[in-house]
Amino acid sequence: MIQSTYMRTEKRIYTAVQLFKELLDLKLEDWTLHIVSDWFMPQGTDVRQERYAWSIQELIDDLGLRENIKVHRFMPREKWRDFLMDKDVFWSLSSSETFSASLMEAMATGMYPVISCWHGAKKYYPDVCIHQTLGGILKATINWSTLSPNQQLQAAQEMRQIAVIYDEKKVALKIREAIEKVGQ
């Protein structure tokens, strides 16, 4: 699975489709790539981003991947968690991020993150999930799929424990406590 609020080049969705094709060509198992995004940005935005979205759709067609790639519109938070519950691996191929709340939310449901090495990723995510190359991302995805169900469950529990650290309510409470201390 991969997510982007809008189809922006730095999210590297085009690259994800190419990488997914390589994964399918290995014929290891029957994969489905879920892309969650509003394909086009609001009116009046950069035409390059619109071309990028069209090029992704064209690539999906050219590679014959319509049956293996499911496209979903960006969804409200209350539907997001339920949607994530039966997904296994979350690809974050971004060339840059600030934090990636959607990735952390996916980890909170037990999804395994496979992350490109964007600046700052090592501050939040385990080294084992961060990869320097597309080959590393592909290999990590394959390695995850070869884990036993018990090993996958253990990995999911480890990801949940990391995500709990960044629970927004707990973070908000810590910020409030820090502000109140300043006022004393």
Domain ranges of the chain: 2-182
Task: Give the whole-angstrom CA distance, residue 46 versus residue 9.
Answer: 11
Q: What is the structure's pLDDT at 37?
A: 85
- Can you tell me the mean pLDDT for 70-88? 87
Is-contact 122 143, C-beta < 8 A?
Answer: no
Taking 80 as the threshold, does the pLDDT of residue 175 lie above it? Answer: no
Q: What is the structure's pLDDT at 38?
A: 77
Q: What is the structure's pLDDT at 104?
A: 83
Give 177 or 162, the one with higher predicted confidence. Answer: 162
Question: Between vectors from CA 8 to CA 159 and to CA 80, what angle results, nearest 5°?
Answer: 40
Query: Into which CATH architecture does domain 2-182 fall?
Result: 3-Layer(aba) Sandwich (3.40)
Least confident of 7-16, 85-94, 160-169: 160-169
How do residues 42-62 score in pLDDT, each as one tens digit? 665 667 777 888 899 999 999
The pTM score is 0.82
Q: What is the structure's pLDDT at 77?
A: 79
Give 163: exposed, middle or buried? Use CB within 10 Å, 0-12, 13-18, 19+. Answer: buried
Q: How confident is the model at residue 112 (pLDDT cuts 50, 70, 90)?
A: very high
How do residues 130-155 score in pLDDT, each as one tens digit? 999 999 999 999 999 999 999 999 99
Is-contact 159 110, C-beta < 8 A?
Answer: yes
Return mean pLDDT, the chain: 85
How do residues 118-130 score in pLDDT, each as one tens digit? 888 888 888 999 9
Task: Give the whole-angstrom CA distance, residue 108 versus residue 96.
Answer: 22
Residues written for the chain:
184
For the chain, give the percent of residues with pLDDT over 70. 87
Q: What is the structure's pLDDT at 179?
A: 74
- β-bridge partners, 34: 70
Taking 60 as the threshold, does the pLDDT of residue 97 lie above it? Answer: yes
Instruction: Dig out the tokens for 50 from the structure.
Output: 């619109």
